[in-house]
């Protein structure tokens, strides 16, 4: 009914039975079934990570993704692959929201429901005709529908936060490098970050503890101790002595056509709840928001990185006998063109073709884009915002620009449920500097417990 699961592992049940017979607890996630996004590789369990694309069927990964190794070591049962927006939404420009001038999250919030050739359109368990956002649409949908307790998504810009928000689950995009990307079909090695999705902050904290950690094969990975998130997420009971930064401009519906009175009212109630919990609220506009959008720096950088990083991943694969191997992005676009009924007619591939012809990573176009992003979005953007406001955390509706800054900067962001409009959920996000996930989870937990915003889905046919 939801098109949220692409495939299940034929070995999962045997693994679960073996754990039961063993009689001893194997780790933090002992016996917990978990779905992983269709861009996360596994081996020996009958699954094939394809990023939602038929072009990738028949590939053989050299080993489990590093995070899958950690899941298995923690006792989790990898049940299967969740549906996703094909190639993490890098197929074609939306007709209603131009990717070049809007953050990817806004694009996925306000365009047609995300889909993949391999899995179809993922449906929202709250209202079946409502948007799910993406690209981790299936991961959020299965958790929201109570099909699975927890799932893994990935985010380049908004791909965990968006689906979590629109399907009333908790979603965490960690600091880039806190969770290994090795064995994950990439979009951008500079911005990609896998993260957990669950119905509660507590569940997300447990999964994060299991999958975080140093991977010497991931250049972004940091060799540092992993906090016991499962033990510390509930360490705070209030926001006393916590300074919270909020941009009124980002939540002005006259300046953001995607916000409704319901969004604004719920957000304002959330702010009042923070105040009653003891938060010190400081209001300040996001610096350079318009300039970042107009510069297209993120779009230009990602255009090049998609080709480079996807082809680097393809070089690690072998292929089943009789299957035409995909060795380059050109191979993939050629496959799509040769299979229009399944791959091209609905999805298009203008973005893939743009990447195919993009300047390389030594070009002035690419290097200038990185420099502009670093200047406008990071140094004189989110870093300046935190410094000038002296805030501990940023608080924003998930349907605003909130994911864009942390995406470019590599900062973590946590979305928790907030409210509903015509039975369709929407969430709110907390953002902290890098490697502050312990505090981020604590802030999210206090807010979650104070608001109790999440309700079970009703699978309504329409809103």
In whole angstroms, what is the distance from residue 49 CA to residue 36 CA? 9
Let me know if 363 is a catalytic residue. Answer: no
Contact call for residues 191 and 410 (beta carbons, < 8 A): yes
* Bridge partner residues of 196 (DSSP): 152
> What's the angle, vertex CA 302, arms to CA 150 and CA 391, rounded to 5?
65
> What's the half-sphere exposure (Cβ side, CA atoms, 13 Å) at 105?
32
Measured in degrees and rounded to the nearest 5, phi and psi for residue 244 equal: -115, 125
In whole angstroms, what is the distance from residue 427 CA to residue 445 CA? 14
Let me know if 137 is a catalytic residue. Answer: no
> Could you say which DSSP state residue 285 is in?
P
Q: What separation, in Å, do the N-terminal and C-terminal C-alpha atoms of the chain show?
A: 17
Let me know if 180 is a catalytic residue. Answer: no
Options 116, 159, 415, 429, the catalytic residue: 159
Options 53, 113, 133, 135, the catalytic residue: 135
Contact call for residues 283 and 247 (beta carbons, < 8 A): yes
In whole angstroms, what is the distance from residue 444 CA to residue 196 CA? 14
Torsion angle in degrees (nearest 10) through CA of 40, 43, 46, 47: 10
Q: Which residues of 362-377 are buried (b: 16+ CB within 10 A; e: fewer)?
A: eeeebeebbebbbbbb
Sequence-ordered list of residues with C-beta below 8 angstroms from that of 21, at least 6 positions apart, any chain: none
Residue 410, SS3 per DSSP = coil
Options 9, 37, 188, 307, the catalytic residue: 37
Residues annotated as part of the active site: 37, 135, 159
């Amino acid at each position: 009914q939801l098109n949220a699961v692409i495939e299940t592992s034929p070995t999962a049940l045997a693994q679960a039975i073996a754990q039961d017979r063993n009689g001893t607890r194997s780790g933090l996630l002992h016996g917990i079934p978990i779905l992983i996004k269709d861009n996360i590789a596994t081996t020996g369990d009958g699954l094939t990570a394809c990023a939602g694309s038929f072009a990738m069927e028949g590939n053989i990964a050299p080993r489990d993704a590093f995070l899958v190794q950690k899941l298995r070591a923690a006792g989790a049962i990898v049940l299967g692959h969740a549906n996703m927006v094909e190639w993490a939404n890098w197929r074609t420009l939306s007709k209603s929201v131009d990717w070049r001038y809007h953050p990817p999250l806004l694009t996925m919030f306000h365009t047609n429901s995300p889909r993949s050739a391999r899995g179809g359109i993922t449906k929202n368990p709250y209202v079946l005709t409502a948007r799910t956002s993406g690209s981790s649409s299936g991961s959020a949908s299965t958790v929201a529908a109570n099909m699975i307790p927890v799932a893994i998504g990935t985010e380049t810009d908004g791909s965990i936060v968006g689906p979590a928000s629109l399907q009333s689950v908790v979603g965490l995009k960690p600091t880039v490098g806190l969770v290994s990307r090795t064995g994950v079909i990439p979009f951008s090695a500079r911005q990609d970050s896998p993260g957990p999705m669950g119905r509660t902050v507590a569940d997300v904290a447990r999964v994060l503890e299991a999958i975080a950690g140093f991977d010497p094969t991931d250049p972004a990975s940091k060799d540092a101790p992993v906090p016991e998130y499962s033990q510390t997420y509930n360490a705070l009971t209030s926001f006393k002595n916590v300074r919270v930064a909020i941009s009124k401009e980002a939540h002005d519906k006259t300046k953001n056509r995607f916000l409704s009175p319901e969004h604004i009212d719920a957000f304002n109630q959330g702010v009042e709840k923070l105040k009653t919990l003891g938060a010190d609220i400081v209001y300040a506009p996001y610096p350079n928001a318009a300039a970042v959008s107009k510069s297209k720096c993120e779009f230009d950088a990602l255009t090049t990185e998609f080709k480079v990083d996807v082809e680097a991943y393809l070089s690690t694969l072998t292929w089943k006998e009789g299957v035409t191997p995909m060795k380059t992005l050109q191979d993939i676009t050629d496959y799509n063109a040769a299979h229009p009924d399944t791959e091209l007619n609905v999805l298009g591939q203008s973005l893939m073709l743009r990447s195919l012809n993009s300047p390389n990573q030594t070009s002035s176009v690419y290097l200038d884009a990185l420099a502009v992003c670093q200047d406008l979005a990071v140094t004189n953007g989110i870093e300046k915002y935190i410094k000038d406001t002296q805030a501990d955390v940023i608080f924003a509706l998930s349907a605003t620009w909130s994911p864009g800054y942390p995406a470019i900067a590599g900062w973590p962001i946590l979305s928790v449920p907030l409210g509903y409009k015509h039975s369709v959920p929407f969430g709110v996000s907390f953002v902290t500097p890098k490697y502050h996930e312990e505090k981020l989870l604590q802030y999210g937990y206090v807010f979650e417990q104070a608001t109790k915003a999440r309700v079970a889905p009703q699978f309504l046919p329409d809103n």
